[in-house]
């Protein structure tokens, strides 16, 4: 098998469909479940507006049609509206993934004017006290609620996202009631996945199996209640990988449909890949076309030849693509290992142990480490990087 710029798959490489533009790692909030890299303060040299224009043009010319603006908090970028406008003119379907902090009714209108297609706002909790404890901001919760309404008033569907974890999952009924009251059209109840800061904080964030079962049952009760009222608010409940028996087809397969451009121009097959012990090319030096088709980074886990024998012989190999490389690395230290979420993995027991250990600990024993620049620098100095 070769990884030197040659796709090891027998299949020809398809063009990317999805571009995630991570405009900045800066964020006014400090959520301990953030999937940004721990060392985010190392990458402060953000692409400027012209460089982002070039990224958008190149990706669209390659065939990408879906575009997400995220971060950090993308609203921190003053040129967001300009970038949206350019993306829209290029023919992208544009999504903004935001905490809502930094949004105003004027800015909602300006984004609509620029042609933004879709906005998703995240909530931390059902009540302001817990929201403040989780996000580190006293004002954010009220602003999010006001902006969710402003987004709907501007003609967008109201799409809300809540990352669920040990500290807020028991509020799920109150969270759904709040979204209902706000007039939400869709709510994503996404259990935390453990990458970046969330991996660092996993002991403090992991729910118990009982919490998960109760939360899913409560979601199902709400689905029935909403249907009985004729209320059209979809509820998507996403189970955390650690509690599954089969791995997810992460990113639809490495280098298959999805491409992330990080704030400093690094191009990644997924938003968490920066944690892997490998080098990633940068749009400042190489074209997106070359990166997607020729780079070692993107070809590394395409196809099936890189897989361990266990995965190569599995009937699911073309469906789950061997699971998640970042998860395999974070849990086993080997990015080529079978994703331990798979029940056939020799390391599946690691997850059983983590879940069992988590049962023993109380939230006080595992305090949350907030995601902020000070902690990021502290962690870098600790590991000598």
Q: Which is nearer to ligand FES, 168 or 256 (CB)?
A: 256
d(C-alpha 182, C-alpha 369), whole Å? 31
Which of residues 81 and 244 has its CB atom nearest to ligand FES in the complex?
A: 244
> Closest separation between CB of residue 301 and ligand FES, Å?
8
When the beta carbons of 230 and 333 are compared against ligand FES, the nearer one is 333
Q: Which is nearer to ligand FES, 43 or 258 (CB)?
A: 258
Task: Report the Cα 223 to chain-centroid distance in Å.
Answer: 25
Residue 61 CA: distances (Å) to CA of 228, 284, 298, 348: 47, 18, 18, 42
Calpha distance 347→218 (Å, rounded): 32
Nearer to ligand FES, 152 or 325 (CB): 325
CB 118 within 8 A of CB 95: yes
Of residues 140 and 342, the one with the C-beta less far from ligand FES: 342
CB of 331 to ligand FES, least distance (A): 12
Cβ-based neighbours of 322, under 8 Å, separated by 6 or more: 247, 301, 304, 306, 307, 311, 338, 339
109 vs 311: CA distance, rounded Å: 49
Residue of 278, 270, 328 lying closest to 300 (CA atoms) = 278
Minimum CB separation of residue 259 from ligand FES in Å reads 12
Q: How many whole angstroms separate alpha carbon 383 and alpha carbon 381?
A: 6
**Dihedrals φ, ψ of 191, to 5°?**
-60, 140
Decide if 191 contacts 207 (C-beta within 8 A).
yes
CA distance 91 to 82: 14
Q: Rounded to the nearest 10 degrees, what angle do helices 209-228 and 172-182 cross at?
A: 30
Strand residues in the chain grouped as ranges (E): 18-22, 66-70, 93-98, 118-123, 159-164, 186-191, 234-238, 258-261, 267-268
Residue with smaller CB distance to ligand FES, 259 or 270:
270
Taking the complex as a whole, the smallest distance from the CB of residue 325 to ligand FES amounts, in Å, to 4
Query: Taking the complex as a whole, how short is the minimal distance between the CB of residue 114 and ligand FES, in angstroms?
Result: 30
Footprint of ligand FES (CB under 6 A): 195, 250-251, 270, 272-273, 324-327
Q: Are strands 267-268 and 258-261 parallel, antiparallel or unpaired?
A: antiparallel
Nearer to ligand FES, 20 or 215 (CB): 20
Reported residue count of the chain is: 385
For the CB of residue 188, give the shortest distance to ligand FES in the complex, in Å. Answer: 17
User: Closest approach of Cβ 71 to ligand FES, in Å?
Assistant: 17
Nearest to ligand FES of 85, 272 (CB atom): 272
Q: Shortest Cβ distance from residue 276 to ligand FES (Å)?
A: 8
In whole angstroms, give the CA distance from residue 12 to residue 17: 15
Q: Which is nearer to ligand FES, 33 or 156 (CB)?
A: 33
Give 94's Cβ-side CA count (13 Å radius): 25
CB of residue 21 to ligand FES, shortest distance in Å: 17
Quote the least distance from Cβ 275 to ligand FES, whole Å: 8
């Amino acid at each position: 098998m070769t990884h030197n710029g040659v796709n090891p798959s027998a299949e020809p490489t398809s063009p990317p469909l999805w571009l995630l533009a991570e405009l900045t790692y800066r964020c006014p909030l400090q959520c301990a479940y953030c999937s940004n890299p721990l060392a985010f303060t190392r990458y402060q040299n953000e692409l400027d507006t012209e460089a982002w224009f070039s990224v958008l043009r190149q990706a669209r010319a390659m065939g990408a049609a879906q575009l997400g603006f995220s971060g950090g908090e993308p609203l921190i970028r003053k040129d967001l509206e300009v970038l949206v406008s350019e993306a829209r003119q290029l023919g992208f379907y544009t999504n903004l993934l935001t905490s809502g902090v930094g949004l105003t009714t004027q800015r909602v209108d300006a984004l609509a004017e620029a042609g933004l297609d879709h906005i998703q706002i995240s909530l931390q909790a059902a009540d302001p006290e817990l929201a403040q404890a989780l996000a580190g901001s006293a004002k954010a919760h009220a602003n999010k609620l006001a902006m969710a309404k402003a987004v709907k008033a501007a003609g967008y569907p109201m799409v809300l996202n809540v990352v669920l974890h040990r500290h807020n999952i028991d509020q799920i009924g109150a969270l759904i009631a709040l979204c209902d009251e706000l007039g939400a059209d869709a709510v994503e109840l996404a259990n935390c996945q453990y990458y970046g800061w969330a991996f660092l904080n996993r002991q403090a964030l992991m729910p118990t199996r009982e919490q998960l079962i109760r939360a899913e049952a409560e979601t199902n009760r709400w689905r029935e209640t909403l249907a009985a009222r004729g209320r059209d608010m979809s509820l998507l409940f996403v189970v955390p990988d650690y509690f599954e028996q089969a791995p997810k087809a992460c990113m639809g397969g490495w280098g298959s449909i999805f491409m992330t451009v990080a704030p400093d121009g690094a191009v990644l097959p997924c938003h968490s890949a920066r944690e892997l012990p490998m080098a990633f090319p940068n749009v400042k030096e190489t074209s997106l076309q070359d990166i997607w088709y020729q780079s070692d980074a993107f070809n590394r886990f395409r196809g099936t030849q890189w897989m361990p024998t266990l995965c190569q012989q599995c009937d699911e190999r073309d469906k789950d693509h061997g699971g998640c490389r970042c998860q395999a690395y974070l849990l086993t230290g080997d990015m080529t290992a079978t994703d331990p979420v798979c029940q056939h993995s020799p390391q599946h027991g690691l997850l059983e142990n983590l879940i069992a250990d988590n049962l023993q600990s109380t939230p006080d024993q595992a305090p949350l480490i907030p995601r902020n620049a000070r902690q990021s620098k502290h962690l870098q100095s600790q590991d000598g990087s």
